[in-house]
Structure 1
Amino acid sequence: MSCPSLVPPGLRERKKLRTRRAILDAAYPLFAEQGFEATTVDQIAAAADVSTSTFFRYFPTKEDLVFSEDEAPHGPSLTEVLCARPAEEPPLTALRHAIRDSLAQARTQPGALERARQRMLLVAEVPSVRARLPEVMARSDRALAEALAERTGRPVDSLETRVLVGAVLGGFREALQYWATAERDTDVGELVDRALDTLTRQLSD
């Protein structure tokens, strides 16, 4: 798989994205107020002003809704951001800047960072959400590994590619989890930088 082509969405796709956003925007306040398990699909659909069948066309389960942010309905995915980095950047540098660029873009989207915080809390607190995490991680890790392999010329399943992607994304996710559960008042970018600084030092020793 090569880097995705950043083709602007057509009218039909933009309408679908608006519906996805409406459902997401309706769901997270309900999760915060009532809890994930107490919030029903019918309640989310009503708050988003869509039918229950429409909800299920976009999200087969509530857990799919939680992890849909990884499919970037509000902007380019991390893989797309990595693909846009200069080709001459070393792999670790490119990955680090891609994560920073993704965070910067999230700051421009209303509610995106708060949803990220809520998602990490749901992963920590809700067993059915946590159970889906390995599947989601495997999918996102694979996409990023394919983009990195294209940049470096190494096989996507090479040890070097797998270790680099696993280490960087692991550090990124740990920083997000720490931000959501331990240091809510700290800027998430500072925590991600701390995590990546730690990783860079360790990989450079």
Structure 2
Amino acid sequence: MSIVPIDRRTRKRLATRQAISDAAARLFDAHGFDRVTVDEIAEAADVGRMTVFNHFPRKEDMFFDLDDAAREQVRAVLRQSDPEIGPIETLRLFAHQVVAEQRDYVRFFDASPRFMQTIAESETLKARARAIRDELAAVVQEGLAERAGQDRSDADAQLAANLLLATWGVAFVQAYQTFERNRDEAEAQRILLALIDQGSIGIKAAMAGSPYA
């Protein structure tokens, strides 16, 4: 399969976005999220204030800069998956795939505990984290319903989506806590996948008889 090259304009846009994200991350780490202004981020990235907002509508979006990519990948995997495999199993397998591929949002670094601490210290970030969770649940609900040929407001799809997000939420928190204790990324990822596997068994049982099991 041929790879479509990225044009120069797109490369420049992505490079600017990454420069803003990197500058924001350095400032957040040094001073804390709430003490850093958008103007300071713009200056550190050597761009204008409006350029920052063109790439990140909210300051907190710079902190959760991997959210968009992760959400789009979840949407894509539900749309493109094997129809012979149930959607809950599809997402369980997707978790194993992204860990095997070491995608950024399932990596654990020395800065990971500080990342979680920064969220805990900021009401703005905690609120945004809850909103991201709800947005992702909506993406999963829509993807599940679409695959099953149901209306996106289907109650079973909503239940399955929220059970999945609860499972993944617990798995990530436990994985972060494991990494904080021993700084062992492989062990943190093992805990992450073990809890997703365990939770998926329960969700399949809960959704038995529905098109989502």
TM-score interval, smaller chain: 0.7 to 0.9
Match of 1:122 in 2: 118
Question: 1:76 & 1:8 partners in 2: Cα distance?
Answer: 20
* Contact preservation (8 Å) 2:42, 2:49: yes
Q: How far apart are residue 192 of structure 1 and its match? A: 1.9
**Deviations for 1:33-83, whole angstroms, at most 9, x for unmatched residues?**
22112222233223322222211222233112223421118x952222333
Aligned alpha-carbon RMSD (Å): 3.1
Cα displacement (A) at 1:111: 10
Q: Report the number of matched residues.
A: 197
1:190 and 2:195 aligned: no
Aligned to 2:60: 63
Query: Based on CA coordinates, which of the two structures has the bigger radius of gyration?
Result: 2
Matched, 1:45 2:42: yes
Which of the numbers 20, 23, 42 marks the counterpart of 1:23? 20
Over the matched positions of the two proteins, sequence identity in percent amounts to 29
1:4 maps to which residue? none
Which residue is equivalent to 2:128? 132
How far the C-alpha of 1:126 sits from its partner, in A, is: 1.0
Q: Aligned letter for 1:71? A: D
Equivalent of 1:177 in 150, 169, 173: 173
Match of 1:77, as an amino acid?
Answer: Q
TM-score, normalising length: structure 1: 0.78
Q: TM-score, normalised by structure 2?
A: 0.75
Q: Structure 1: which 5+ residue stretches go unaligned?
A: 1-6
The answer to whether the 8 Å contact 1:91/1:152 transfers is no
In structure 1, the partner of 2:153 is 157
1:104-155: CA deviations, max 9, x gaps? 44x2559965587665443332111112233322222212222222222233
Question: Measured at CA, do residues 21 and 126 of structure 1 come closer, stay the same or move farther in structure 2, by a change above 3 Å?
Answer: same
